[in-house]
Every structure is written in C-alpha cells, then in structure tokens.
C-alpha cells in the first residue's frame, strides 16, 4: 500500500512522490496476508512487510486515533495498551475498588512486591519513579496490564496527585496510554484488540521460518495459559518470589525471615511448601509437555517486610514481639544498595533451607503433575551466580534434595539445574560456570544494569535525554546494548559451549521481546528467548525476520 503525491497540470499527470503508506498494525497484517492471497507477493515478503512492534496494537486496546484529548504529562511506555480508570493511591484501595466493581488506576511513587495484589486488581499502573525494567514495568507486562513508569512530573501528597498543573484526588478519572507513555485527562475513546484470522495466518507463516524458540516469563497458571495461547513454547522465567505475597502465605514468609534459629525457619518454610507446590502444579498443567524454568528466590529479604511504621507496628502485634524489636529487625535487613546485596544465590548459601524447600516443592509438584497425566520438563535456575563455586555448592544441595524427594515419591523424573548469567563476572568465567550448569539463561536486565552502572529503577530521569542527545542510540533497558552488554553475551556463549558443547542457552530478560535484540540473539546462536506473555507474538515475528535475514531474503 502506497501514499502517492501527484499533480495534474494541463492534462498531464506528474508523479511527485511515492512512499510506503502509513497504516495501523491491523491494516499492515491484513494487507500482507491478502497480497499473498492475490499472488502479488510471497510469504517471506509478507512477513518482512509487518513490523513486529506493530503487533502491539493488535494485542492491547489503543487510543482512538480520531480522538482529541489533553496530555497531562509523559513517562516511559512501560507496558502497552490504553485504559481509563479512577485514581487510587494504595494497593488495598485498588483491591477494595475492584471488589466493588470499579475500574481503577494504581498511582504510586514506585511499586514493590507488596503491591502485587493491588496491581492485579487495577486496570493500569502509573508511577512517579522507575524505568523500563522497574518492578512496576516488569510485573505489568507479565500481567498484560497497561503501565506508564517514571513520570517524574507527578507530585504525590497523601491522597492527591498534581500533574499538568492540576490536582487530582482519589476517584478522579484519567487515561493512561502505556504505548506512548502519555497520561491523559479524563476518559478517552479506545479501540479494542484485533486478533483475527489474518493475525493467526501471519503467525503460522512466522513459525514456519524461524529457528529461535520463544518462551514466556510467567509466574502464575493464568499467565502460563495466556502465554501458551499466544504461541509460547515453554516458560523461560518463573519468579517464585511473586508467589509469596498472597494473603494466605505472606505471614509464613515473614515468620521465616524473622526466625532466629534454623529450626524455627524450617517450621515456617514447611507452611510455605504446600502453597509453592500447588502453584507449580498449576503451571506444569498449563505448560504440559513444554519446559518450565523456575528461578529460586532472588530478591533481598527486606522486600517481604513492611516499610511504613504503622505496618511495622501491626506486624509486631501479629507476631507477638515488641515494636522496637521489629524495627531493629527491619533495620538490620536494610541495605544501602540491595541490588548488589544479600540476594539470589547468596541467600541460598546463607540460608540453604529456603532453596531446599523450593526444590522440594518443584519436584513434588512435577511428580504430582506426572501422575495426573501431565508431561513435565522442570528446569531449576539458580540466580545471581558470579563465582563457579557458588553454583557448584548450590547445585550439589539442590540435587541432593531433589533425589531425596524422588526416592520418597518412588518415581524417576527428569529435571535440570542451571543458572542465570546476569553478573559480568559470570560471563567472563562462563567456561568454569558451565561445568556445573545444564543450561544458561541470560538475565539481561541485571546484566545491563551492572555493566553500565545504571540503576534500572532510577535511570528514567536521565536516559531519555541520553537518547535524545545521541549519547546512546536507544535506552539499553529497552533494546540490548549490542556493542557492550552484547559482547558479554557472545563471550559467555562461546566460553560456555567450548566447555560444554550443546549447552542450552536462552534469554529471560525483557530484551527477549524487543525485535532488534531478538535478531542479535538469533545471530549469537541462542536457543530461545523469553519475554512477557503479551510480547510473545512480537518475538515470534522478530525471530522470523532474523531467520529470513540469514537466508538473504530480507535486506
């Protein structure tokens, strides 16, 4: 389809300009498919003519292009879609509003794992701080919810928000456009998602030419079902910490954290094991016959404790300790830079009983699912490894508990134990790390953060200017920095496979859903990428583009 600029002068036709016509995602897909049907182009050319990013318009509601509206402010387009809702300022208010049948937008300075319930209840999330891989952004994409993060113009004051020269109270209506980062006054007309036969045909064609497999980052059975419907070929990242925040389990988590002895900690973990097992059973059912990579506990323990004084006092009362003692405990877990602190495999080595409980839950869930007729492929992933000895010791620990459970269950089950490559040192010594890994999964969010020295939660305040002024070509948290971070990925692939030929490798960072990054991962020889469920079709089409580039059919 073309835009043609022409002029007729004195009965003569002058062709002034011809260019590819602008079109919506739905139009691009329809035109490509219909032109194949009319034998005007072939299938590879049709795949080439649809930009993978255009598929976002088909998967989420979008602002009606004909609508007029007032933009109050702009943040980062952290998770696509456009929705309207009433403002709420706390997770509890979001849950209460949903139960009352109201659609709300959760507005926070920044979100934390404590806000998970509220984020699930809201139709969209808006934050003052945070980048493209902040907590709000990652969780929202996983849930398929609209999100604008890092809108620094917002000023929050208790139960009010100032933005665009106006003051908004709880209950006021705004529209959030996660595809552009715009925050809009009032209600704006939107268009619904458009998944039709043309979309499904294009996906079939893309699946027929790509080499790179596509998995999804999922934490719940529901996320897993959605991902599979979109074509995901397994789960590349299941974050177990998100399972800890349910009302029926957070008390046991906090009891475990505040335990002073191993025995007390193990008793608390025993309460958590059935919940984790149940979650994993549901995920295995949703992914019947497909691999599921489950990351053991990653964040620092303080994230599971309240930070506000009133909530700390309430928790002290629940656990029967003094407020002063509770404050001392919370303070003792505080870290100046938690991203570089006591988390990931470091927690597993300090408190091995935590990882042992999780491994037992995974293996018991897999054996239960197998008995129920489900084919499981459990991949246990140890996070934040930077030293081969860390992985060696934790691998031995995990295998010991897994084999013990299998003996107890009286079954024989295949499973693997691997690691995330998210610390630069792990990439540098990947040949040594590979000796103790069945697979590598690149956590490119943290790998980018640690390579650049950028905070992924705070960089939204200056990275846009870096891109606008040409210091960087793109936000490295949105599109992989191929010359720097990419070099570490290539090194780890080469060293890892030199030490262990055929070592399975994938990506579970958010770059797995970015088309430009997907093409790089294809060229680097990775086996799969993993991304948020609603980015799966985009990754599939991008992987097809990469394969066609290799075949010389796309310039």
147 is catalytic: no
Q: Which CATH class is domain 62-191?
A: alpha beta
Task: Identify the pLDDT of residue 249.
Answer: 84
> 160: which strand partners?
169
Task: Identify the pLDDT of residue 461.
Answer: 78
Q: Tell me the per-residue pLDDT of 212-239, one tens digit each, with 9 for 90 and over.
A: 999 999 998 989 999 999 999 999 999 9
Which position among 508, 511, 522, 545 bears the catalytic label? 508
- Does the pLDDT at position 74 exceed 90? yes
Q: Which of 464 and 271 is assigned the larger pLDDT?
A: 271
- Does the pLDDT at position 494 exceed 80? yes
Mean pLDDT of 435-460: 92
* Range 210-300+335-550 has CATH code 3.30.720.110: no
CA dihedral (277, 283, 286, 289) positive or negative:
negative
135 is catalytic: yes
Q: Determine which helix (DSSP H) or strand (DSSP E) holds 529, and give its type and residue range.
A: strand 528-531
Task: Identify the pLDDT of residue 199.
Answer: 96
Closest CA to 513 of 534, 487, 492: 534
- Does the pLDDT at position 527 exceed 80? yes
Q: Tell me the per-residue pLDDT of 2-48, one tens digit each, with 9 for 90 and over.
A: 899 999 999 999 999 999 888 888 899 999 999 999 999 999 999 99
pLDDT > 90 fraction of the chain, expressed in percent and rounded: 72
Task: Identify the pLDDT of residue 314.
Answer: 79
Q: How confident is the model at residue 395 (pLDDT cuts 50, 70, 90)?
A: very high
536's CB contacts (< 8 A; 6+ apart) are 214, 216, 227, 230, 231, 232, 513
Task: Identify the pLDDT of residue 481.
Answer: 98
Average pLDDT, the chain: 92
For strands 76-79 and 82-88, give the pairing. Answer: unpaired
Give the 3-state secondary structure of residue 155.
strand
> 42: which strand partners?
none
Give the 3-state secondary structure of residue 126.
strand
Q: Tell me the per-residue pLDDT of 401-432, one tens digit each, with 9 for 90 and over.
A: 999 999 999 999 999 999 999 999 999 999 99
- Domain locations along the chain: 2-59, 62-191, 210-300+335-550
CA distance 124 to 80: 10
Task: Identify the pLDDT of residue 554.
Answer: 47
- Does the pLDDT at position 555 exceed 50? no
Q: Determine which helix (DSSP H) or strand (DSSP E) holds 201, and give its type and residue range.
A: helix 197-209
CA distance 382 to 298: 9
Distances in Å between the alpha carbon of 479 and those of 448, 485, 514?
10, 11, 6
Asked if residue 519 lies in contact with residue 548, where contact means CB atoms within 8 angstroms, the answer is: no
Asked if residue 248 lies in contact with residue 86, where contact means CB atoms within 8 angstroms, the answer is: no
- Does the pLDDT at position 143 exceed 90? no
Tell how many helices (H) and how many strands (E) occur in the chain.
22, 23
Which 8-state DSSP code applies to residue 504? E
For strands 213-217 and 528-531, give the pairing. Answer: parallel
Q: Determine which helix (DSSP H) or strand (DSSP E) holds 9, and give its type and residue range.
A: strand 2-9
Give the 3-state secondary structure of residue 468.
helix
For strands 2-9 and 12-20, give the pairing. Answer: antiparallel
Task: Identify the pLDDT of residue 47.
Answer: 97
Task: Identify the pLDDT of residue 33.
Answer: 97
Task: Identify the pLDDT of residue 324.
Answer: 79
- Strands (DSSP E) contained in 66-191 are 71-74, 76-79, 82-88, 104-108, 124-127, 146-149, 155-156, 160-163, 166-169, 173-177, 182-185, 190-191
Which position among 135, 302, 511, 522 bears the catalytic label? 135
Closest CA to 182 of 162, 153, 159, 158: 153
- Does the pLDDT at position 553 exceed 70? no
CA dihedral of residues 473, 479, 485, 490 (deg, nearest 10): -120
CA distance 278 to 268: 17
Task: Identify the pLDDT of residue 208.
Answer: 97
Same fold: 62-191 with 210-300+335-550? no
Chain center to CA of 529: 12
Closest CA to 537 of 43, 61, 139, 58: 58
Tell me what percent of the chain is helix, strand and coil, each rounded to the nearest 5.
50, 20, 30
469's CB contacts (< 8 A; 6+ apart) are none
């Amino acid at each position: 389809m073309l835009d043609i600029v022409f002029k007729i002068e004195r009965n003569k036709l002058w062709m002034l300009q011809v260019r590819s016509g602008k079109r919506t995602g739905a139009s691009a897909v329809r035109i490509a498919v219909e032109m194949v049907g009319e034998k005007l182009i072939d299938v590879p050319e049709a795949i080439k003519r649809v930009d993978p990013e255009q598929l976002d318009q088909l998967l989420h509601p979008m602002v009606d292009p004909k609508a007029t509206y007032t933009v109050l402010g702009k943040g980062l387009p952290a998770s696509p879609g456009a929705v309207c809702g009433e403002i709420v300022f706390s997770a509890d208010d979001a849950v209460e509003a949903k139960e009352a049948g109201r659609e709300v937008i959760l507005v926070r300075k920044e979100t934390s794992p404590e806000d998970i319930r509220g984020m699930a209840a809201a139709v969209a999330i808006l934050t003052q701080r945070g980048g493209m891989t902040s907590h709000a952004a990652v969780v929202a994409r996983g849930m398929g919810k609209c999100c604008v993060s890092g809108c620094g113009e917002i000023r929050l004051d208790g139960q009010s928000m100032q933005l665009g020269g106006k003051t908004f109270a709880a209950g006021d209506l705004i529209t959030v456009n996660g595809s552009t980062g715009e925050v809009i006054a009032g209600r704006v007309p939107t268009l619904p998602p458009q998944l039709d036969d043309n979309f499904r045909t294009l996906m079939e064609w893309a699946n027929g030419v790509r080499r790179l497999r596509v998995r999804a980052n999922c934490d719940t059975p529901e996320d897993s079902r959605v991902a599979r419907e979109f074509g995901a070929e397994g789960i590349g990242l299941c974050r177990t910490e998100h399972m800890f925040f349910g009302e029926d389990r957070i008390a046991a988590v906090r009891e475990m954290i505040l335990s002073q002895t191993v025995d007390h900690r193990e008793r608390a973990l025993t309460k958590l094991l059935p919940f984790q097992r149940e979650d994993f059973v549901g995920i295995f059912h949703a992914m019947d016959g497909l691999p599921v990579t489950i990351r053991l506990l990653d964040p620092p323990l303080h994230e599971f404790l309240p930070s506000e004084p009133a909530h700390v006092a309430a928790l002290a009362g629940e656990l029967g300790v003094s407020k002063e003692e509770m404050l001392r405990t919370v303070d003792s877990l505080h870290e100046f830079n938690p991203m570089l602190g006591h988390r990931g495999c470091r927690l597993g080595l300090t408190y091995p009983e935590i990882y042992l409980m999780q491994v037992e839950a995974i293996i018991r869930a897999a054996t239960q699912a197998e008995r129920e007729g489900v084919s499981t492929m459990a991949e246990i992933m140890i996070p934040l490894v930077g030293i081969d000895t860390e992985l060696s010791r934790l691998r031995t620990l995990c295998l010991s508990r897994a084999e013990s459970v299998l003996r107890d269950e009286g079954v024989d089950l295949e499973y693997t134990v691997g690691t995330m490559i998210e610390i630069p040192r792990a990439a540098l010594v990947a040949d040594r790390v590979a000796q103790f890994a069945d697979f590598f999964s690149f956590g490119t969010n943290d790998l980018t953060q640690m390579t650049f020295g950028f905070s992924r939660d705070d960089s939204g305040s200056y990275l846009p200017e870096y891109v606008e002024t040409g210091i960087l070509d793109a936000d490295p948290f949105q599109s992989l920095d191929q010359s720097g971070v990419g070099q570490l990925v290539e090194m780890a692939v080469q060293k890892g496979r030199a030490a262990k030929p055929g070592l399975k490798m994938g990506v579970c960072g958010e770059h797995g859903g970015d088309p430009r990054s997907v093409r790089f991962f294809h060229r680097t020889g990775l086996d799969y990428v993993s991304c948020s469920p609603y980015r799966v079709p985009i990754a599939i089409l991008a992987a097809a583009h990469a394969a066609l580039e290799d075949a010389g059919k796309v310039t």
